[in-house]
């Protein structure tokens, strides 16, 4: 499904699937809480990467996990 956001069209499936992959991994490692609530920081990372041209859901998820974990170590 493509959704128009302003002047940009976003592939919701790619972003959603990348988020599901990344959040599942981060929940299993204990990096984020095991809840049904969306982690806005993780979603923001994925959307930002998607807007910069990364459309592969596996690469999106892997890069988002790496960035999320590196930000966690910087703030800890």
pLDDT in tens, the chain (76 residues): 555 555 455 678 899 999 999 999 999 999 999 888 999 999 999 999 999 999 999 999 999 999 999 998 877 6
Dist. CA 31–CA 72, nearest whole Å: 8
Please give the structure tokens belonging to residue 36: 């049904």
Dist. CA 16–CA 50, nearest whole Å: 11
Q: Determine the pLDDT at residue 72.
A: 85
Domain ranges of the chain: 2-75
Please give the structure tokens belonging to residue 27: 């929940």
pTM: 0.83
Q: Determine the pLDDT at residue 6.
A: 54
């Amino acid at each position: 499904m493509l959704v128009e956001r302003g002047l940009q069209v976003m592939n919701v499936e790619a972003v959603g699937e990348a988020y599901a992959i990344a959040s599942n991994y981060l929940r299993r490692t204990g990096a984020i809480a095991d809840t049904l609530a969306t982690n806005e920081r993780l979603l923001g990372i994925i959307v930002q990467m998607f807007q910069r041209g990364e459309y592969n859901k596996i690469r999106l998820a892997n890069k988002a996990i790496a960035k999320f974990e590196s930000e966690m170590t910087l703030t800890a």
